[in-house]
Structure 1
């Protein structure tokens, strides 16, 4: 019996880009609809100020954890003992997952960086039984009430589905977790793209203290559009866990550019909030045009991406390869996502109005 996998040209060309995990500045004319960042805040004068101090920052050591914890505390208005800054959320995800015991409950499809840090036998998976991968707090409580775990992961909005649970729903889940001695990991990396974002965060001293076993993760790279700085934060009123993790990460885990970003960010806070409002409008306009394309089904999203079901005459790998080869647009065919039917869905980022118009134009040309 021949078990050889048929590697197509589409597979080869997509793997060439997907396996890079970034560094796409070597392709300056390519539109990156694969990786997810705020397309507006990096136009703020905050970047000009960093650039003006480039020589100083590149030639100086950054400060240690104590100083950077104070800076993060000032930026996100959380007590120093409740917050740890990391070399991107990825560093903090690794450290956090290594400190967990028992089973972890996840909703799939999801961001696999968390479950990838655990052996398969410790991961309990809930897959929503509907064609748009929608779920709420009650669905999670029912499933994990019948399938006990020690930790529950909620990415809100979720990646790639864009599913969003309201604050009241997250509070309900958080209280259920506290009552049942379950730790809740809440990843808010995309919450600032949701409608009413100022009121949608758990990064708040009173909330953290109300649910002392919750851990709230936030990728500054994605929300603020500065992935090159490698910055993320984790917040929890579990001070023993936060203190332990601060000792586990490297002594200089934050570079000078990320540290300087935190030093100056408070004076650009209003700029940031305006770009989030600007982004929400761009997403709404993009969704209107996407829904006019007959060979995709667009799922609702409160994040900076859309999850699409690809319909005949195309398949995701084929469609993503065509977009790349013919239009220099890179999109994710979701080839490694668990919990979904293979080669049926794709995820596209939301960029600025001009880039989104180019994406729509390319898709219109592919209507048969």
Structure 2
């Protein structure tokens, strides 16, 4: 048995590497084609034919005549358009007829064990296929009850799937009999009548229409693989094939989100509401998808009215932002003096405020992550404004609204501003009306500025919606000066427009979070591995007991259970490398986390 690698294709002009062979892109420190040859060598393949295009000098210079135990021969595809694999395959048809063949697309990277397992799988002829996922496009296949390929579907696009289909991964095992008697005759006929600028599966699709053939499906249910068709695929492959868990974590957090690219990953790091929006609300937004995608959103004035209606305050007292980060940045540009920060805290405040040369930060680290309004009053002498997150992030510590109202009065009397971030306040279960965003409170305390992330509580983090409310009309006018007119997209605007019809379900979702939070805390404490701090948010601050640290624990969870957490190592106010913030998700996800914790404890 030998192997054939189709490697004539360069990156497109839209890629970051337009003139570089896709097979030469480096993943985990070496080119994709070396990863492929490693897998072939480990599977005992001693001969490989590589079809090159105008990139042949680079590939030959890299590999030479042999790679480890594998002898290499080169065939050059010098056609004006070598991108289609059909003509490349035509050039090596004689090799197909000589011996059984492992046929591979040079731009696919995969786990090394895949080749050996493909060779030993049932059937002399087989194709590697993967369950269809939303990010995929290209050629798909349909399987029979006997696990054979019963048909090819050309040009399937993302999210257009209406039945169970599988992605063709462009890795095949062809017997020489199949190649000589079936595939090559059809390939030759196709090349005579067409231009050859098509993919390998096109001939297989035609064969299936006019002849009976048997190709077993080799299912990649548990193999990691990625087809490198662009810069994004390369970035994802770097994460999937990172050599160490530490490097994988680093690369994931370097993305700062976008975890929908990794549907197999269970994320306990980023915060949202798993119970909202409801299915009905999502269906309503989907029904308007085309309109919202193509039409411009309204300007800031309309968005402000929608936000004011949601919270029952005057539109003169409110600003909508593209997430709270946009509002924090704008606010940092109009504040001055000394700002009090209670550590540990949400990094966006300290990072943005510290960039303003007119602001001096004064830190306070309360003992055991808890504090009272009296403690804050003792701290108040050294600042002009205090930033208070309530419930606090990452501790989940909470001060009831009455206490905050008294604190606002205390600061007002001393001509100090109180900036309260209440992004998680709807998850509290200690009082029915915890929010400070009421007309009465804003009017009474113009020194009060309230910020709120809607994404974290309403489960719409992808829409990027935040809010700032205050009775200080002058400071609101200054902040508005730094906010673009069209800062909210049409999807965010429509959410604000229709949320009123779903308020009852939103309140129920917050109650479910609170109930699940209590149950989850009990289950976590049963493991005896974690100290779980009381929380009124949709997350916990946790400390790892014993000798383990967060680096070791987070790497274990990612490597063994595909679970993502983020340690708080190095965060100001965190005393040691044993702390992490843990999101409260739905029951099944939370139970899976508890099982992973127990497995880690038993391993130790």
Between 242-251 and 70-79, report the one with greater CA deviation: 242-251
1:193 equivalenced with 2:401 (yes/no): no
Q: Work out the CA distance in 2 between the residues paired with 1:336 and 1:270.
A: 41
Aligned pairs for 1:160-175 (under 5 A) are 160-175=394-409
Q: Work out the CA distance in 2 between the residues paired with 1:356 and 1:12.
A: 25
Q: Work out the CA distance in 2 between the residues paired with 1:344 and 1:360.
A: 17
How many residue pairs match? The answer is: 357
- What is residue 271 of structure 1 aligned with on the other side? 505
Aligned pairs for 1:319-330 (under 5 A) are 319-330=553-564
Q: Using a 3 Å threshold, how does the CA distance of structure 1 residues 242 and 335 change in structure 2: closer, same or farther?
A: same
1:144 equivalenced with 2:380 (yes/no): yes
Residue 83 (structure 1) aligned to one of 298, 318, 321: 318
RMSD: 1.5
Decide whether the 8 Å contact of 1:65 with 1:246 is kept in 2.
no
Question: Which consecutive residues of structure 2, in runs of 5 or more, have no partner in the other structure?
Answer: 1-242
Decide whether the 8 Å contact of 2:529 with 2:597 is kept in 1.
no
1:36 equivalenced with 2:271 (yes/no): yes
Q: Work out the CA distance in 1 between the residues paired with 2:433 and 2:354.
A: 36
Q: Work out the CA distance in 2 between the residues paired with 1:77 and 1:284.
A: 31
Q: Which has the higher helix share?
A: 1
Residue-by-residue CA offset, 1:319-362 (whole Å, 9 max, x unaligned) = 01110111001011013521112412111100011111111111
List 4+ stretches of structure 1 deviating above 3 A: 8-11
Q: Work out the CA distance in 1 between the residues paired with 2:352 and 2:394.
A: 19
Q: Using a 3 Å threshold, how does the CA distance of structure 1 residues 315 and 10 change in structure 2: closer, same or farther?
A: farther
Q: Work out the CA distance in 2 between the residues paired with 1:246 and 1:77.
A: 20
Decide whether the 8 Å contact of 1:81 with 1:243 is kept in 2.
no
Q: Work out the CA distance in 2 between the residues paired with 1:305 and 1:56.
A: 36
Question: Which consecutive residues of structure 1, in runs of 5 or more, have no partner in the other structure?
Answer: 1-7
Superposed displacement of residue 171, structure 1:
1.4
Residue-by-residue CA offset, 1:33-76 (whole Å, 9 max, x unaligned) = 00011111123422211111000000000000111111111111
* TM-score for the superposition, normalised by structure 1: 0.94
Aligned pairs for 1:54-133 (under 5 A) are 54-119=289-354, 122-129=360-367, 132-133=368-369
> Larger C-alpha radius of gyration, 1 or 2?
2
- What is residue 370 of structure 2 aligned with on the other side? 134
Decide whether the 8 Å contact of 2:525 with 2:531 is kept in 1.
yes
Q: What is the DSSP-based 3-state SS (H/G/I as helix, E as strand, rest coil) of the residue aligned with 1:152?
A: strand
Q: What is the DSSP-based 3-state SS (H/G/I as helix, E as strand, rest coil) of the residue aligned with 1:141?
A: helix
Q: Work out the CA distance in 1 between the residues paired with 2:244 and 2:369.
A: 30
1:290 equivalenced with 2:508 (yes/no): no
Aligned pairs for 1:122-271 (under 5 A) are 122-129=360-367, 132-145=368-381, 148-196=382-430, 198-271=432-505
Between 162-171 and 332-341, report the one with greater CA deviation: 332-341
- What is residue 543 of structure 2 aligned with on the other side? 309
- What is residue 45 of structure 1 aligned with on the other side? 280
Q: Which has the higher strand share?
A: 2
Q: Work out the CA distance in 1 between the residues paired with 2:375 and 2:263.
A: 44
Residue-by-residue CA offset, 1:19-44 (whole Å, 9 max, x unaligned) = 21110011101111000111111234
Greater relative contact order structure (CA < 8 Å, 6+ sep):
1
